[in-house]
Amino acid sequence: MHWKMKRSIQFIMAHLPFGEHLNHIAQKAAGSFSPEAQLWSLVAQAGYLRALDERHPLEGATVVEIGPGWQGLGTLLLHLFGAAKIIAFDHQPHFRRRLFDSLVETAEASIEALSNASGIDRAALARRLGDFPDLDYRAPGDAAVTGLPDASIDLVYSYGVLEHIDRPDLEAIARETARILKPTGRAAHNIGLHDHFASAGLGNGVNFLRYSKRRWNFWNRNAILNHNRMRLPDYFELFADAGLCPVWSQRELRSENLEALRSLRIHSDFRHFGVEDLAASHLYIDLSSNGANETNLI
């Protein structure tokens, strides 16, 4: 199967010297940073940030971004939405200025589509695309030990990152988030709960729930692909234990996941979860550190 081949290749790369760099080269060769792929990602994340901006305005915000990645896509969009300063933490120095510049070029060439997705007028986009963000890039960096003052941050942000971090580290990041957020601040996360091999021939996003912890960790707990397989209630429990209160959340349920669970044999580690908690493919959540009233929760 295609997904098993991809898993095996990533497993081998993860155990080679400079494996992450080799994986990056493979991603480039596969078109992951093509203008078409960049535009798709820009439009998708711009729509997410547009909704966040309506709930919690980003203009003038000081932001901690967790996991900006190779091209700084979230970094660029936070800047376009008016963030005043971005402090970005990554476990390795992945960020490449040439990829960022290429991303800016893609945005400039498709400014109408980006304006429609973001709700930002073209003049403001053009002006901000001409300026490099006020970026404090910390890599290797630890979002669990930021060194930032208490109650100094307006937004802690991640997009498709937390699912790749093991639970003990997530618990530490959540505690640090609660410490550095202003009373009016928010943490906002887009968390992928699905099997990330879903696009490689699986046909569903729940296949990884078949495997024991030992078997899954052998193949998939590495520097290139790590998925903690935490389910939606695990995240709510983790955030609550750290003193973070959900103030808004949504989940994504996909029909193919629900259908697959009718016949898929789930490992005993996951059988205590309800069907919808197993099937949920994304969790979108805003959190506060001051016990703000819950407004729209799943």
User: What would the two tokens of residue 88 be?
Assistant: 């970005």
Contact between 278 and 253 under an 8 Å Cβ cutoff? The reply is: no
pLDDT in tens, 122-154: 999 999 999 999 999 999 999 999 999 999 999
| pLDDT over 60 at 196, yes or no | yes
Q: What is the mean pLDDT of the chain?
A: 92
| pLDDT over 70 at 296, yes or no | no
Measured CA to CA, the distance from residue 129 to residue 230 in angstroms comes to: 37
